[in-house]
Amino acid sequence: MRRLTRQAIEDLVPYPPGKPIEELERELGISGSIKLASNENPIGPSPLAVQAILDRVDSLNRYPDGSCYYLKKKLSGILGLPQSRIIVGNGSNELIELTIRTFLEPEHEVIQAFPTFLVYQKIVSGAGGRMISIPLSEFRIDLDAVSAAVTPQTKMIMINNPNNPTGTALGLDEMRDFLADVPQDVVVVLDEAYIEFASDESIANGLLLSDTHPLLITMRTFSKLYGLAGLRIGYGFASEEVVDYMNRVRQPFNANTLAQAAATAALDDREFVSRTLDVVRDGLAYLYGQLDDMGLPYVPSQTNFFLIKVPMGADRLFKRMLREGVIIRSMASFGLPDYIRINVGLPEENKRFLLTLKDALEEFESTP
C-alpha cells in the first residue's frame, strides 16, 4: 500500500499530550498543584504586557501587522541592529522551524550537543534531515567535539546557550574560537532562550558575536523572562541576507496582534524584569542551600531551572510528586534517568517542592 505521509513523518513520535492542570487535579482528587516543569516565569506575565493586550483587544477583527513594525523598531533600538536584521516568530520554536525550512535539504546533517532542547531533533527529523548528537562533557557543551563532527554533509549546528536542560553556559571567548572554525556555509543557530537569566557576564552572547560568522542566527524569546509563554512570541537576529531568506519562507501573519503589542510593552517593563530576576536568583540560592543540606547533588545553572540528581529514579519521583500536586520534569527522556529538572518557583512553591521531595526521599529510604 502507498505510504500516507512522507517517510520522515512516519518515524516521528508525537509530543506526549499533557493534560490541563485542572483535569489532572480532578483525576487525582487534589487541588492547588504547582508546576515547576516547563521553565516558565513563576510571577506571572508582565503587567505592562497585559495592559497592552487589553488595549488592543478591540482590533482583533483586523489581521496583524505582518512586518511587526513597532516590535522590531523597539528591538532595533535595544539591540543596536537595523530592523532588516531582525525577524519575529510565533515563539522561538517557529524560528527554529523556519531556519530548518529555509536551509535544510533532506540529505543534510545537523549537529547538536545532547542532551539539549528536544524540539531540535523533532524538527530536523520531520524535515528529513539527519541529526548528529554529540554528548555533553560533564554537563557542558563540548565545542571541540562539535567542531570535530563537522563533515561536508553538515548544513547546520544547533547551540543552546545556556543549555536546556543542564543550565550550563559557554564562554564568549570559546564560542568566538569555535565560530571561527565553522565552515562559512554552515548555518549556526544560537538559541538564547534563557540568556537574560545568566549571572555570569563572561558567557557567550549572540549580540557580541553577530559579525563573527556569516550564517549565525541568534534566537530569543518572550516566553521566559517576560512571562509570555502562552502568547507565543520570540525573535531572532542574523545578517540581512539570512533574515531576507527566512522572511521568504515565513507566513505573513505569523506573529499575532496581541503578542506583538504585549512583547513591545514588556520590553519597557523594567520593574517586572528586575522582580523576575530577583525571584529566580534568590530562589536558586535558597534551593541550592537546602539541597546541600540534604546531600543531593545538583548542576549549578545560569538559567531559571536546574538539574537535581535523585536516588530513586526520576520517573518514579515524578509520579510520586505528581500525586502530591508538585509537577516536575523527569529527565529520563533526555537520557538522564537519575535526574529531575525543576524551574525556580515562587518562594512558597520552592518550599513546597523541598518538603514534598523530603517526604519522597524518606519514603524511598524506608521502602527502596
Ligand X SMILES: Cc1ncc(COP(=O)(O)O)c(C=O)c1O
Q: Which is nearer to ligand X, 112 or 210 (CB)?
A: 112
Among 72, 75, 83, 117, binds ligand X (CB under 6 A): 117
193 binds ligand X (CB under 6 A): yes
The residue among 28, 44, 33, 24 whose CA lies nearest residue 352 is 33
64 binds ligand X (CB under 6 A): no
Instruction: Determine the Cα–Cα distance for residues 88 and 190; give it in Å rounded to an integer.
Output: 15
Instruction: Determine the Cα–Cα distance for residues 166 and 305; give it in Å rounded to an integer.
Output: 8
92 binds ligand X (CB under 6 A): yes
160 binds ligand X (CB under 6 A): yes
Q: Which residue is nearest to ligand X (CB)?
A: 91
Q: CB of residue 71 vs ligand X: minimum separation in angstroms? A: 14
Residues numbered 220 to 279 that lie near ligand X (CB under 6 A) are 221, 223, 229, 234
How is residue 139 written as a grid cell? 554537563
Q: CB of residue 292 vs ligand X: minimum separation in angstroms? A: 26
Among 34, 36, 39, 85, binds ligand X (CB under 6 A): 39
Instruction: Determine the Cα–Cα distance for residues 45 and 35; give it in Å rounded to an integer.
Output: 15
Q: CB of residue 234 vs ligand X: minimum separation in angstroms? A: 4
Question: Which window, 85-93, 102-110, 270-278, 318-326, contacts ligand X (CB under 6 A)?
Answer: 85-93
Question: Which window, 90-98, 176-184, 265-273, 274-282, contacts ligand X (CB under 6 A)?
Answer: 90-98
Q: CB of residue 10 vs ligand X: minimum separation in angstroms? A: 25
Number of residues interacting with ligand X: please give it, by CB under 6 A: 13
Q: Note the residues at the interface with ligand X (CB under 6 A).
A: 39, 91-93, 117, 160, 164, 191, 193, 221, 223, 229, 234
